[in-house]
Amino acid sequence: MSVCGTGLHTGKYGTITFIPAPPGYGIKFKRIDLPGQPIVEALVENVIDTARGTTLGKNGATIYTMEHALAALTGLGIDNVLIELDVEEIPILDGSSKFFVEAFKHAGIVCQDTIREYLIIEDEIRFIDEDKGSEMIISPCDTYKLDVKIDYGTEVLNIQFAHLHQLADFEKEISPCRTFVFLHELEFLLKNNLIKGGDLSNAIVFVNRKVSQEELDRLAELFHKPKVKVKDEGILNNLDLHFENEPARHKLLDVMGDLTLIGKPIRGHITALRPGHYANTEFAKLIKQQIKKPVL
């Protein structure tokens, strides 16, 4: 099963193919466009960057922006798969996990004849990033639950909450939720030669300051749109929200994708305040370290 599209930051068009793998294989990426077709395991030990997305790297091979695809795998309970890429960045598609979920379900998901090994949380584990105001907690639970709170201190995007207490709800409640950006961030990214694959169809753009028509016209020209304007709720008119709290739901999606890098399905209750890719992946490392500690 394959998915094609353009990478958000690199702007490169490519194809990723998901190949069934045997029990115990885990999730791995294979760069078929590079000499030797190197493999990069989807493990937090291979995280090399978390700016504007999570990047994996090993032996000179890099994989950019893989968190949305990994969230779809976790949301559907898929543990073993080889992901072949002919490009360095996973396609952004519409900025959500929706199309990955649809592709997996269309291809079919096979139940393997083996006992599933879970990462079971027995004691609370907490990660705090005081500089960014992030706090991540995981506590014992018989299932996989997530609660997320975001707070950017802006009027246009108020405090929001999102939760997922049953993985069965992932497809409908979380997977369609798209990434978002503030207008000032968008301008910075453009000036720094990033989001080459952005076209205003794969992100919610929040406008947290007054914008002149001249600026809006410039944005429209940059993204090949006839016209853009600011809607009453403070977002550009490039799209409509799927949910009132879609940004919080997308942050939950990102948490799921990044924590997939632990390497095992989780049994634990995650509470996240102002999560981001750095906090998510540092939290994943901390969980693995704590779980590996010997019992005294």
Q: Are 204 and 241 in contact (CB under 8 A)?
A: yes
CA-to-CA separations, 202 to 12, 120, 215, in angstroms, rounded:
15, 35, 20
| Catalytic entry in 68, 163, 250, 277 | 277
Active site residue 277: yes
Give the type of residue at 75: G
Report the C-alpha gap between 156 and 146 in whole angstroms. Answer: 25
Report the C-alpha gap between 31 and 176 in whole angstroms. Answer: 27
| Distance from the first to the final alpha carbon of the chain | 47
Active-site amino acid positions: 277
